[in-house]
Structure formats: C-alpha cells, structure tokens
Amino acid sequence: MSLDMTVTQPQARLATARDYVELMKPRIMMLVVFTALAGLIAAIGVTGQGINPVLASVAVLAVALGSGAAGAINMWYDSDIDAVMVRTSTRPIPSGAVPRSEALAMGLIMSALSVLLMWIASNVLAAGLLALSIVYYGWFYTMVLKRRTAQNIVIGGAAGAFPPVIGWAAVTGTTPLDAWILFAIIFFWTPPHFWALSLVAHKEYEKAGVPMLPVTNGAKSTRLHILLYTILLAPIGLAPLATGLGGWLYGGVGALLTVAFLYFAVKVFRSQAGEAEAGDPERKLAMSMFAFSILYLFGLFAALIVEHGFGLYYPLGGI
C-alpha cells in the first residue's frame, strides 16, 4: 500500500436537497425573515394599516427567497476562499456537491422570482428595496467590499439591515423614520457581532486573504472597535422608545439587553481575545459575545412583535 493514494482534493459527492438548502444560508435567512416580520407587524401596529394574511405570508416568503438567493450568489463567488477556510470548507461548492454554475443559476433565478413575488404581493417600493438588498449583498458586499477593505462588515452591514424596512414598506408602501430606526439597529449591530466572531477566526480570514479588521488592524484595535460600535448601538437600540415605536415591554427588554451587551463589549475590550497568546477563556468570551449579540437582536425585535402583534403595546408616558 502506498501513501500516494491518500486523497488531498475534496472528493466529489452527490448533492442532496440539504446541500441546496445550505446554499441559501438558512441561519442568516431565519434572522432576515424574523426582522422582516417584525417590521411588517410593527408597521401594522403603528399605522393601523392592514395587509391580507396571505399577502403578508407571500411577502415574507419573498424576503426569505431573496435572502437565499443572495446567499447562493455569495457562495458562488466566495467558493475559492471557502475552500481555504476550515469553517467553510464543507459548504456545498467547496465540498464538490454542487457545481458553481448551478449555485449562480439558482441565485439569479431565485432573485428574480423573489422580487416578482414581492411585487405582486405588496408594492413596487417593497420589491425595489428587496432587489436593492440582494444586489447590495450579492454584488456590492461580496464582490466589491469583502476582499478590499477592513470596513467590509461596516458598509456591508446595510444589506442585512434592509429586511425590516422591506417588511414595513410591504404594508404601508412607505418607509418612515421608524422603519429606518430598525434599519439603523441592525446596521450598527452588525460590526460588533461579526468582529466578535472574527477575533476567534482571524487566522482563517488571514489564510484566505480576507481583510477583516483583526487581520489588518490587529486584535486590540478590533476590541476597541467592538466597544465603540456597541456604545454607538446602545442609544440607537433604545431609539424606538423616543418615537413611540417601542412601548414599556420594548423599553424593559431593550434596557436589559443593552446593559448586558455593553458588559460583554467592555469585558472583551479588557481581555486578550484575538491575541496570539490568548487562551481558551478569551476564545470562549469572544464566542459568548457573538452568541449574545444574536440574542440581543432577537430580543429587541421579538419585543416589537409581541407589543404590536399581540396587543401588548403600552406607550411610555402614555403618549
């Protein structure tokens, strides 16, 4: 027997339905759908305008399809760097299950179908915003920003911030300040969320040549950026209280989550997370912050859904 027979290249395997679902980045899709639903329900609660449940469901489905389409386009373009990183090497394209051309075709076809569905279920504004968010993520973030600048996550964060605005526009045909506040919450949440993860995975990004902040500016600068963005996010996360979008429940949940998020940011800032000499506790701390950031966003948007969707909205100060 000879060692020459040892496989070094990813072995081609037959694609399953799960591979095609994986192409759509289902975890991101869930968060996108959830925030879009929150925007949609908040719009109904705030404006009093209604939307047929069937049309609302189709609009949410369109957002999900749009998110999946952008994910497939992202995987198509990034398959070369996905193959280099251990975390992403098992994805459908680098593992040899799905050909690149199929992923691209799937992304493009689903993009068109999702925008079309959104249009017929709601209005041209919501459809236009959905198209814009797909282009923003699939082209601007993936092909322009990601490999060129350490600010990729900051600028690219807008792509994931569109869903609540789309949900709002689907109901009212407009995008008032409240919708853009929800946009701002996700926009300013994205950098500390991703940078917490990149503190742990920075060696992989470096190997793949992706200029994430810890790769270009180092761990210390990244921890400072995480803290600054979390401080910036704190008032924005509570801004719905000022406009009346959030009531008592949102205020309570928001205050608790904001304090906890700031606590994590300070703790990570004071730690050695991301440094070469960092140990397992630092790694766990960064991952805890990453996990908590998801809980933070989920908590805020869940509070809005409960307040406006279940009749539990009690405005602060009885406005």
- Minimum CB separation from other proteins for residue 76, in Å? 17
- Minimum CB separation from other proteins for residue 5, in Å? 4
Q: Count residues contacting other proteins (CB under 8 A)?
A: 26
Q: Is 319 in the site for other proteins (CB under 8 A)?
A: no
Q: Is 119 in the site for other proteins (CB under 8 A)?
A: yes
The region of 11-19, 147-155, 184-192, 281-289 touching other proteins under the rule CB under 8 A is 11-19
Q: Is 276 in the site for other proteins (CB under 8 A)?
A: no
- Minimum CB separation from other proteins for residue 89, in Å? 16
Sole binder of other proteins in the list 28, 33, 55, 236 (CB under 8 A): 55
Rg of the chain (C-alpha set): 21
Q: Is 14 in the site for other proteins (CB under 8 A)?
A: yes
Sole binder of other proteins in the list 37, 60, 70, 117 (CB under 8 A): 117
Q: CA dist 32 to 87, 111, 174, Å?
A: 22, 15, 20
- Minimum CB separation from other proteins for residue 64, in Å? 12
- Minimum CB separation from other proteins for residue 79, in Å? 19
Sole binder of other proteins in the list 26, 28, 47, 61 (CB under 8 A): 61
Q: Is 64 in the site for other proteins (CB under 8 A)?
A: no
Residue 264 falls in which region: left (phi positive, over 0), alpha (psi -120 to 50) or beta: alpha
Sole binder of other proteins in the list 30, 86, 105, 124 (CB under 8 A): 124
Instruction: Decide whether 66 or 211 has the Cβ nearer to other proteins.
Output: 66
Instruction: Decide whether 37 or 97 has the Cβ nearer to other proteins.
Output: 97
- Dist CA 33 CA 39 (whole Å): 10
User: Can you spell out the DSSP letters for the chain?
Assistant: --GGGS--SPPP----HHHHHHHT-HHHHHHHHHHHHHHHHHHHHHH-----HHHHHHHHHHHHHHHHHHHHHHHHHTHHHHHHSGGGTTSTTTTTSS-HHHHHHHHHHHHHHHHHHHHHHS-HHHHHHHHHHHHIIIIIIIIIITTT-TTHHHHHHHHHHHHHHHHHHHHHS---HHHHHHHHHHHHHHHHHHHHHHHHHHHHHHHHT---HHHHT-HHHHHHHHHHHHHHHHHHHHHHHHHTSS-HHHHHHHHHHHHHHHHHHHHHHHS-TTSTT--HHHHHHHHHHHHHHHHHHHHHHHHHHHHHHTT----GGG-
- Minimum CB separation from other proteins for residue 223, in Å? 41
Instruction: Decide whether 18 or 87 has the Cβ nearer to other proteins.
Output: 18
Instruction: Decide whether 123 or 149 has the Cβ nearer to other proteins.
Output: 123
Contacting other proteins within 75-114 (CB under 8 A): 113
Q: Is 302 in the site for other proteins (CB under 8 A)?
A: no
Interface residues with other proteins (CB under 8 A)?
Answer: 1-3, 5-7, 11-17, 20, 52, 54-55, 58, 61, 113, 117, 119-121, 123-124
